[in-house]
Structure 1
Amino acid sequence: MASFEPVTSVVRALTVLRIVNDLDFASIKQIHKLSKLHRSTVLRMLETLMHEGYVTRDEQSGMYRPTGKTLLLSRGFDEKRQLSQLASPTMLAFRERIGWPSDLAILDGHEMMIVETSREYNIMAINHQAGVRAPLLLTSLGRAYLAFCTPAKQEKLLATLAASSRSVNAAARNDPAGVQKMLEDVRQKGYAIPDPDFNSSSSSGSGLITGFSVPVFCGGEVFASLSTSFLISAMSLEKGVETLLPALKETADTLSELISKNYG
């Protein structure tokens, strides 16, 4: 949940930019109709976007169109899409091998973000689609990444989490020693499991699904984390680790090699 109410002018400017981008050539009348904004507001947003270089006006037709600068806004998305396309075949092969799906997530800000998943649209897809964010301290994806960070990076991330007021980061504020113990356990075992309470919450599938994660490395440093998930009714977490961990680690090693050679 956002800490503040959305800034109305920013929302309006983004709405106008999206419409111009969708239409390629757009008139004030078209933008007004699609955005439901007053014409004077549309004009003010367009002039602001022109000032910042994202929109230009054709002098002959009076129509507005996006500039090449808008491509800069998709740079991060394109990088993530490249990673998704790179990882997808390996993750699908893993699913065919073990019969359960996997998720690949990278650090985005101070959370993990799923960039690729081999889940089909069913109960296993609950809250695990590409683009979904996962808390660092409560999910196996977050824990696997955080545990294998360099000490300096881990310290910086934990300090940021401790300064946050979000409930998902409470352990960093209230029990830093417990967090360090948990991370050391992850490093020793080589894999991470989710927080039991968080995993049984409605936001994570109402306790129907469990799983675990391992780190994915690039250039000797942790780059992402890879998880596999399965129905608790099919097997316990302990049995899942015993059965699936070797294959998950092997897949993570394959992804590490692919990413090191081809990504970026």
Structure 2
Amino acid sequence: MDLVAGRPLLSELLPQVLWPTDLTTLDVDAMVIRETTHRFSRLSFHRSMVGRRMPLLFTASGRAYLSFCPGSEREQLIAMLASKDGEEGEKARDPGYIRRIVAATREQGYGANLGEWNPESRFAAIALPIMHNDRVYGCLNLVYMAKAMRPHEAASRYLEKMKATIAKIEKGLDRVESDG
């Protein structure tokens, strides 16, 4: 199912959270924004986000995907990232770093970043996986200014609203499967 079908649900979520939200999916070795409320949120600094690629290891969405996907898929993704040059490749080759990221994300129940993605270090995010039949279809990501709050504060304010939106998306995935 194409998660862009979740567009109306993002529109319903925006007045509840005010900060911009994104629907993201895995594209080879990165998360890609498929739909967003950035262009509608008064709190967004970025208006054009659809199609933007985000690294797996340094973003909330990437961490959520990586931490909740099946272990065999995670191993393949890490191996792919480890073959890359640069900071993400270096971090992917550090098993301790990967274990810490996955353990923290799974323990919290959501992905988080607080300015770790260098080009976007002023921003932070929390993200939840969108699951169906033990598969991660994508993630719902909420972006905010890093100075505004810590990830645990964002989670306490917005996670339940995000979970309600995800439940509706996942219910739609159930319907698509039963219709097919």
Choose the corresponding residue for 1:152, options 56, 59, 72. 72
Q: How does 1:122-137 map to 2 (within 5 A)?
A: 124-126=44-46, 129-137=49-57
Provide, for residues 93-140 of structure 1, a one-character-per-residue CA deviation record: whole Å limited to 9, x for no partner: 011222222101111011111100011277725386110001011101
Secondary structure class of the residue paired with 2:19: coil
Work out whether 1:216 is the aligned partner of 2:135: no
Give me the CA root mean square deviation: 2.3
SS of the aligned residue for 2:79 comes to: helix
- Greater share of helix residues, 1 or 2? 1
Number of corresponding residues: 177
- Tell me: CA distance 1:182–1:102, structure 2 relative to 1, closer, same or farther (3 Å): same
Distance 1:213 1:115 in 2: 14
Residue 237 of structure 1 and its aligned partner are, at CA, apart by 3.1
2:3 aligned partner: 83
Q: What are the residue-to-residue correspondences of 1:26-175 with 2, within 5 Å?
A: 82-84=2-4, 86-120=5-39, 124-126=44-46, 129-173=49-93, 175=94
From the superposition, tell whether residues 249 and 151 of structure 1 become closer, same or farther in structure 2 (CA, over 3 Å). same
% identical equivalent positions: 27
Q: Which has the higher contact order (CA 8 A, sep 6+)?
A: 2
Q: Which residue of 2 aligns with 1:243?
A: 157
CA distance in 1, matches of 2:48, 2:150: 20
Structure 1 stretches lacking a partner, 5+ long: 1-78
- CA radius of gyration, larger in: 1
Unaligned runs of 5+ in 2: none
Residue matched to 1:258: 172
Q: Secondary structure at the match of 1:154?
A: helix
Q: TM-score, normalised by structure 1?
A: 0.61
Letter in 2 for 1:162: A
Is the 1:114–1:128 Cα contact (8 Å) retained in structure 2?
A: no
> If each structure's strand is expressed as a fraction of its own residues, which one has the higher value?
2
